[in-house]
């Protein structure tokens, strides 16, 4: 039931949840193919993991570019001979411009966020699926804002609701090939994205609306991703799993 020798691809691997997931799965002896836009931290991570004995391949990939995604996954299968699982974690929350009311949001900001969070995910799914030859597992990063609204955040909220829908739609199709597809919905996880968002929004770190009254460390997420990628979750598909410190409840 472990991920030892399983070939797993991870997008958004250079930072935050993706970075911690890469380290966590390398420690479980999975064979990893990592992708991100940010070359320097990605290559540093690759070198660090290789030094510790892990089998890792990293590529600079923009998930919004379908050809780049296809080439990366083809190179992964050529190197490791198969594909067993995918953690589609790359995502963006947007910059200062995105902190706009519904009637004020700019077309470019909408297209940027939807482009990475939904079209980017679509590019990954359609490149991954044909490469699963013997079943498989897909885990997508949605958000607790994929389940509820938030002020001045319509593009991100819409994009993460779409991730939930895409997960469910894909799961319905893929079950007959024994490919499972789930997503997780993080609440506040203390990553660069979370800090950037809090800084832009001027959010006071009042997290009293969460039962646990705190943000999570990024290292608290990978065990859930590992579970959803492994055979320990063999009867779980099309599901949406909050990891939110008791916000949604
Ligand atoms: N941190 C949170 O509180 C939180 C909450 C809910 C959901 N999420 C989701 O979890 C996922 C990971 O978030 P995080 O907090 O680790 O963010 P992060 O910003 O720390 O990491 C995201 C990574 O995705 C990469 N990326 C962005 N656009 C890309 C592209 N076009 N192609 C390839 N890589 C790209 C970035 O370079 C970065 O390394 C995201 O999908 C995010 O929306 C995070």
DSSP assignment, residue 87? E
- pLDDT, one tens digit per residue, over 105-129 is 999 999 999 999 999 999 999 999 9
Tell me the backbone φ, ψ of residue 214, rounded to 5 degrees: -160, 160
Contact 17, 189 (CB under 8 A): yes
Give the helix ranges, DSSP H, for the chain: 16-27, 39-51, 66-80, 107-114, 120-128, 154-174, 192-201, 222-229
How, if at all, do strands 7-11 and 85-88 pair? Answer: parallel
Cβ neighbours, 10 Å, residue 204: 7
The confidence band for 17, taking pLDDT boundaries of 50, 70 and 90, is very high
Contact 93, 143 (CB under 8 A): no
Tell me the backbone φ, ψ of residue 152, rounded to 5 degrees: 50, 45
For ligand 1, mutation pick of 72, 91, 124, 247 (most atoms within 8 Å of CB):
91
Distances (CA, A) of 75 to 46, 68, 80, 176: 16, 11, 9, 26
What is the chain's mean pLDDT, rounded?
96
38 Cα to the center of ligand 1, angstroms = 11
Distances (CA, A) of 98 to 32, 80, 107, 147, 163: 33, 40, 10, 20, 19
- pLDDT, one tens digit per residue, over 19-56 is 999 999 999 999 999 999 999 999 999 999 999 999 99
Residue whose C-alpha is closest to residue 129's, from 168, 62, 185, 178: 178
The pLDDT score that the predictor gives to residue 203 is 61
For ligand 1, mutation pick of 16, 39, 62 (most atoms within 8 Å of CB):
16
- Phi/psi region, residue 29 (left: phi>0; alpha: psi -120 to 50; beta: rest), is left
Query: Does the CB atom of residue 221 touch ligand 1 within 6 A?
Result: no
Could you tell me the residue ranges of all domains in the chain? 7-243
Would residue 160 show up in a list of annotated catalytic residues for this protein? yes
DSSP assignment, residue 129? G
Domain 7-243 matching CATH 3.30.70.2190: the answer reads no
């Amino acid at each position: 039931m472990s991920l030892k020798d399983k070939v797993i691809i991870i997008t958004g691997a250079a930072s935050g949840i993706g970075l911690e997931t890469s380290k966590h799965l390398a420690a479980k002896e999975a064979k990893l193919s990592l992708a991100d836009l940010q070359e320097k931290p990605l290559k540093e991570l690759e070198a660090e993991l290789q030094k510790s004995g892990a089998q890792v391949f990293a590529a600079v990939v923009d998930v919004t570019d379908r050809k780049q995604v296809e080439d990366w996954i083809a190179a992964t299968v050529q190197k490791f001979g198969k594909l067993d699982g995918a953690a589609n974690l790359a995502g963006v929350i947007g910059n200062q411009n995105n902190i706009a009311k519904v009637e004020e949001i700019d077309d470019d900001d909408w297209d940027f966020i939807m482009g990475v969070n939904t079209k980017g995910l679509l590019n990954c799914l359609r490149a991954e699926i044909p490469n699963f030859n013997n079943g498989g597992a897909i885990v997508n990063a949605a958000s607790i804002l994929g389940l509820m609204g938030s002020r001045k955040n319509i593009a991100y909220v819409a994009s993460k609701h779409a991730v939930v829908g895409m997960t469910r739609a894909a799961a319905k199709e893929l079950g007959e090939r024994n490919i499972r597809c789930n997503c997780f919905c993080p609440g506040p996880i203390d990553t660069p994205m979370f800090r950037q968002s809090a800084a832009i929004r001027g959010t006071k770190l009042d997290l009293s609306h969460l039962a646990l009254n705190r943000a999570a460390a990024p290292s608290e997420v990978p065990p859930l991703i590992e579970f959803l990628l492994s055979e320990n979750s063999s009867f779980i598909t099309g599901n949406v799993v909050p990891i939110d410190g008791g916000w949604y409840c």
